[in-house]
Chain A
Amino acid sequence: MDANVEKISIEIEKLKSSIERLEDVRQDFPALDLNLKRIMAGVKMLELNFVDPLEEGPG
């Protein structure tokens, strides 16, 4: 399971980066800005489920 989860985690971070790359232009388009906000919330759920658990140690 661990190898799969690492792969999942990498792809989730790519999703997040993709959204962040649109940061400069999103303010020009409410449709882009506010839909991305919703998508980002979903990406956050993926992070809670798959990225958080992979990081070693109690922080």
Chain B
Amino acid sequence: MDKTPFWNPLLETMDLEKLKNLQLKKFKRIFAWTYDRSRFHRSLYDRAGIRPEDIRSFEDIRHVPKVEKSMMRDVQRKDPFPYGDALCVPLEEVSEFRQTSGTTGQPVYQADTWQDWEWWSECWAYILWAQGYRPSDRMFIPFGYNVFVAFWAGHYAAEKIGCEVVPGGVLDTQARILKIQELRATAMMATPTYVLGMADTAKTKMNIDPTELGIRRITCAGEPGASIPSTKERMQNAWNARVFDHAGATEIGAWSFECECQPGGMHVNDAFFLVEIEDIDTGEIIDVPGRRGKMVITAFDRMAQPCVRFDAKDIIEWDPKPCACGRTFRLIKGGVVGRADDITKVKGVLLAPSAIEEVVRGIEGLGNEYEVVVDKLGDIDRIKLKVELIPGQEDRTQAIEAELKDQLRLKTNLGYRIEFYDHGRLPRYDVKARRFRDMRKK
């Protein structure tokens, strides 16, 4: 059983036409459930004149109004408290409370029943099995086990697939590294920021080489990074481990994963989620590969607080190539390449912050941390990049600056002021980093 690459080959290698039929059937089911039980959603759909019996095709689905995060904020903090009108089950059936991180505004609460929680771990089981974790793994999970969903479901999925799970909450970074060393953990899950941060702490503060700790697989989530080639390479080199990406969200679920083939993108779990890509300017649904757009997503089986055509704002594009792993689950090329609300115009040029990360982490001699500051001098936008030099690279400053400016011009079409800092001077983050500061909005 351990040798099969699929958690469930029936779904993961399903013929595409059957998969589409399954998706349509499941969308109809969750739409009817939501319409019948959520006053918020019913009101939205009634205003649009759409009822469950109107859904007969994917074209019909496209007419179902989208739900934005801001709408969820508006319905919550009311009865049934604290979830409000979007709750589809009696309050006493809610067994799990989580909330979003609040990076884009007031946190949104998420209710899950025990069945939803089981569903979360089932989605993650698909991820972990596809990434090669097996019952022989000892999985160390260095996260806070708090109100953010983060790696909770990863923990339960690791248990489900038979791993031994070591919860690394509460411990500080050095204690976590020592625990990994003591127990000879083989696997880990963390944000890319923390993966690099732990490696840095091990090397610079503890004289421990992370490559010798025995971690062989790492799953990243929570922020982009593991699908940015230069960041992935840094993490893999730092730990001598394979690093895999996963994208999920509190309001959505664990919808995508990179498989063991590492095809330069992530599979969408098409059996559990419907992913649509919407053109940012026209709103038209993009079915063809090669065009980026904004993700609109439905979770078919999440019942307490459903996710139906949620406007996720993740920027993705379909990959035209099938994956060597044999899954018929579609690939999104390059993973989640940015967020619609992160992309901004600087000097009239559209800029995705992930492009800057790709450049910085691809240059030898620079540390992992960086910061981008955009401000205005009069009417003119300015952009400044702060980077750290790795100790011993000081005499290469000019060459590094030249390479940085060239690569940034190539990748982002912008000129930057570069500021160099000694290693350790820029902010460190425990979980998710906030490296892009747009002072023009203040």
Residue ranges of A at the interface with B (Cβ–Cβ < 8 Å)? 1, 5, 37-38, 40-42, 44-45, 48-50, 52-53, 55, 57-59
Which of these, B8, B20, B24, B115, contacts A49 with CB under 8 Å?
B8
- Asked whether, in the complex, the Cβ of B115 is within 8 Å of the Cβ of A5, the reply is no
Say if the beta carbon of B441 comes within 8 Å of chain A.
Answer: no
Q: Which of B1-25 contact A (CB under 8 A)?
A: 8-11, 14, 18, 20-22, 24-25
Complex contacts, A44 vs chain B, CB 8 Å = 115, 118-119
Query: Is B26's beta carbon under 8 Å from chain A?
Result: yes
- Identify whether the interface residues of A are mostly helix, strand, loop, or mixed: helix
For A8, the closest partner residue in chain B by CB is B10
Rounded to whole angstroms, the CA-CA distance of A50 and B77 in the bound complex is: 38
A-B contact pairs, 10 of them (CB 8 A): A1-B9, A41-B115, A45-B118, A45-B119, A48-B272, A53-B14, A57-B21, A58-B20, A58-B21, A59-B29
> 4 extra interchain contacts, Cβ-Cβ under 8 A, other than A45-B119, A48-B301?
A49-B10, A52-B26, A58-B21, A59-B28
Expressed in whole angstroms, the minimum distance between the Cβ of A20 and any Cβ of chain B is 15
B122 neighbours in A (Cβ, 8 Å):
45, 48-49
Q: Which of B108-126 contact A (CB under 8 A)?
A: 113-115, 117-119, 122
Determine which of A41, A50, A57 lies in contact with B114 in the assembled complex, contact meaning CB atoms within 8 Å.
A41
* In the complex, chain B residues 262-293 whose Cβ is within 8 Å of any chain A Cβ: 271-272
B residues with CB within 8 A of A: 8-11, 14, 18, 20-22, 24-26, 28-29, 113-115, 117-119, 122, 271-272, 301
Q: Is the CB of B114 within 8 A of A49?
A: no
Chain A residues with Cβ below 8 Å from B21 are 57-58
A55 touches B114 (CB 8 A): no
Instruction: Report A34 CB to chain B, min CB distance, Å.
Output: 9
The complex places the Cα of A43 from the Cα of B358 at a distance, in Å, of 44
Q: Which residues of chain A have C-beta atoms less than 8 A from B22's C-beta?
A: 52-53, 58
Q: What is the bound-complex CA distance between A37 and B114, given in angstroms?
A: 8
Q: Interface majority SS on B: helix, strand, loop or mixed?
A: helix
Q: Which residues of B contact A57 (CB under 8 A)?
A: 21, 25
Q: What is the distance, in angstroms, from B213's C-beta to the closest C-beta of chain A?
A: 34
Please measure, in the bound complex, the distance between the C-alpha atom of A42 and the C-alpha atom of B159, giving whole angstroms. Answer: 14
Contacts A48-B272, A52-B22 given; does A1 touch B10 at CB 8 Å: yes
Q: Please give, as numbers and ranges, the residues of chain B lying within 8 Å of A50 by CB-CB distance.
A: 8, 10
Residues in A with CB closer than 8 Å to B18 are 53
Residue of B nearest to A47 (CB): B301
Residue of A42, A50, A52, A58 with highest tally of chain B CB at under 10 A: A58
Q: Which single residue of chain A is at the shortest CB-CB distance from B13?
A: A1
Is B24 a contact of A58 with CB atoms below 8 Å? yes
Given A52-B22, A57-B25, A58-B25, verify A41-B118 contact (CB < 8 Å): yes
In the bound assembly, the distance between CA atoms of A42 and B20 in angstroms comes to 25
Chain A residues closer than 8 Å to B8, beta-carbon distance? 49-50
Give the residues in chain B near A48, CB-CB below 8 Å.
Answer: 119, 122, 271-272, 301
Once bound together, how far apart are the Cα atoms of A26 and B118, in whole Å?
A: 21
Q: Known contacts being A1-B10, A37-B114, A48-B122, is A59 close to B25, with CB within 8 Å?
A: yes
Closest B residue to A42 by CB, please name it: B118
* CA distance in complex: A17, B14 (Å): 28
Say whether A49 contacts B25, CB under 8 Å.
no
Please give the distance in Å from A48's CB to the nearest CB on chain B. 6
A17 → B minimal CB distance (Å): 18
Query: Is B115 a contact partner of A53 (Cβ separation < 8 A)?
Result: no
Output the nearest chain B residue to A54 by Cβ-Cβ distance.
B10
Distance of A45 Cα from B119 Cα, bound (Å): 7
Bound CA–CA A58/B55 (angstroms): 11
| B11 pairs with A53, CB closer than 8 A | yes
Q: For the complex formed, measure the closest distance between the CB of A21 and the CB atoms of chain B, giving whole angstroms.
A: 20
